[in-house]
Structure 1
Amino acid sequence: MKAIADAYFQLMKLALVTCLAGMVVLVFGNVVLRYAFNSGITMSEEVARLLFLYATFLGAVVAMREHLHIGIDSLVKRLPVLGKKACLVTSHALVLLACGLFFQGSWAQTVINLSVKMPVTGISMGTVYAAGLVFSASAALIVLNDLYRALAGQLSEAELVAVREGADPEVIAAAEHEPQRMPPGAKRQPADRAEVA
C-alpha cells in the first residue's frame, strides 16, 4: 500500500513540475513572440491559467503529505503525549470536514460547468473546478492515513505535532546557534548586570 501511495505522490510531483514548465514555456514564449515577431500563442493565457491552478492545488497536496505547511506549535509541543494526540485527532477531524465540504462544492461546480467552454481553447470549465476534486480527495486520504496512525499508536511524540512554527527547521537551528549580530561600534553587555560596578 505504501508503494502505491509513494508512486501516486511521485506522479503528482511530476505533474507539478510539468505544470510549472508548461507555464514558463507558454508565458515566456508568448512574450518573446509578441515583442520579436509581433505574433503570439493564442491559447497561452487560458492554458497557463489552468496550469497555474493545478500547480497550486498539487503543490498544496505534496506539501500536506510532507507536513511542510507552517503552523503555530507553541502550545501543542508543551502538552503531554495524550494532549498532543487529542489535538492531532481534533485538527484532523476538522480538516476532514473541510475536505468533505470542499469536495462537495467542487463536485457541484464541476457538474454545472461541464458544458461551459473556455472561449479560446474550448476546454470545459469543469476542468477548472476538477482541481478541487483532486485536492480534496488526496488531502482527505493523507489526513485519514495520519489519523489512523495516530489512533493506532504508530506516530512518535514528535510526529504528533503536525505542523512546525516558522520556516525550515535547518534555518531555525542555524539562527539559534548563530551569535547575535552587533551594530558597528556597539559593545557587548555582560550577561549578568550585577557584575557591572
Structure 2
Amino acid sequence: MRAGQLLRHGAEALLALCLMGMVVCVFGNVILRYFWGTGWVVSEELSRLLFVWLVCISATLAFGEGKHLGFDLVTTRVKGAPSTLLRWLARGLMALALYYLIDGSWSQVRVGLDSRSPVMNLPLAVGAAGTLVMGACMAVLLVLQAWDDLRGKTDGEELP
C-alpha cells in the first residue's frame, strides 16, 4: 500500500472517530437529560472541538481528491498554453490563500496556548491547530499537485 493511501485511510479513520465521538457526546447527553435530568458537562465543548477537527480533516481530504468547490468555467474551455498558465495562476492564488491561513492559524495557536477552555481545561490551541494542520497539509498537497503537473502526470491519475 502506498504512503498516500495509508495517510488517506488514517485520515478517514480519524474522521470516523471524530464523528463517533460527536454522536456519543450529543446523543448520550440527550438521553441523560431526557431520562435522568442530568448530562455530561463536557459534551458540548468536546463535540464542538471534534467538529472543528472533522471539518478540517474533511476539507483536506476533499482538496487532495480534487473535490472542493471550484469555478472552472473558463479553464475547462481553454486548451494549450493558456490552460497551463491559468492552472499555475490558480495554484499561485491558492498558495497565497494557504499562506494567510497558515500564518493566521499559527497566531491563533500561539495565543491559544495561554488560554484554557472553561470545562475541559484544554488549551484553546487544540482547536486552532485544526486549521493549522489543514493549511499545512493542503500546502503539501498543492506542491505535490504542482510536481505531478511538471512531470506531465494526467489529471485522471490519483495523487499520492
* TM-score, scaled to structure 1: 0.75
Identity %: 31
What residue in structure 2 maps to residue 134 of structure 1? 133
Pair 1:49 & 2:48 matched: yes
Segment drifting more, 89-98 vs 79-88? 79-88
Alignment length, in residue pairs? 157
Question: Helix, strand or coil: the match of 2:83?
Answer: helix
Kept in 1, the 8 Å contact 2:98–2:139? The answer is yes
Kept in 2, the 8 Å contact 1:109–1:126? The answer is yes
Structure 1 residue ranges, 4+ long, deviating more than 3 angstroms after superposition? none
* TM-score, scaled to structure 2: 0.92
Alpha-carbon deviation of 1:128?
1.1
What residue in structure 1 maps to residue 58 of structure 2? 59
Gaps of 5+ in 1: 160-197
Kept in 1, the 8 Å contact 2:112–2:124? The answer is yes
What residue in structure 1 maps to residue 149 of structure 2? 150
Give distance in 1, aligned partners of 2:107 and 2:8.
26
Q: How far does the alpha carbon of each residue in 1:8-47 deviate from its partner, in whole angstroms, 9 at most, with x for none? A: 2211111111111111110011011001111101100000
Kept in 2, the 8 Å contact 1:89–1:150? The answer is no
Question: Helix, strand or coil: the match of 1:77?
Answer: coil
Give distance in 2, aligned partners of 1:89 and 1:37.
59
Structure 1 counterpart of 2:49, one-letter code: L
What residue in structure 2 maps to residue 88 of structure 1? 87
What residue in structure 2 maps to residue 71 of structure 1? 70
Kept in 2, the 8 Å contact 1:107–1:133? The answer is yes
Give distance in 1, aligned partners of 2:104 and 2:51.
20
Alpha-carbon deviation of 1:116?
0.9
Give distance in 2, aligned partners of 1:63 and 1:75.
22
Please list, as runs of the form range in 1=range in 2, the aligned pairs for 1:101-120 lying within 5 A after superposition.
101-120=100-119
Gaps of 5+ in 2: none
Give distance in 1, aligned partners of 2:81 and 2:109.
41
Give distance in 2, aligned partners of 1:51 and 1:81.
44
Alpha-carbon deviation of 1:147?
0.9
Q: How far does the alpha carbon of each residue in 1:71-91 deviate from its partner, in whole angstroms, 9 at most, with x for none? A: 232221111132222211111
Structure 2 counterpart of 1:87, one-letter code: L
Give distance in 1, aligned partners of 2:103 and 2:109.
10
Kept in 2, the 8 Å contact 1:30–1:41? The answer is yes
Give distance in 2, aligned partners of 1:40 and 1:83.
60
Structure 1 counterpart of 2:47, one-letter code: A
Alpha-carbon deviation of 1:94?
1.1
Structure 1 counterpart of 2:42, one-letter code: M
Which one has the largest radius of gyration? 1
Alpha-carbon deviation of 1:145?
0.7
Q: How far does the alpha carbon of each residue in 1:104-132 deviate from its partner, in whole angstroms, 9 at most, with x for none? A: 11111101110211111101101111011
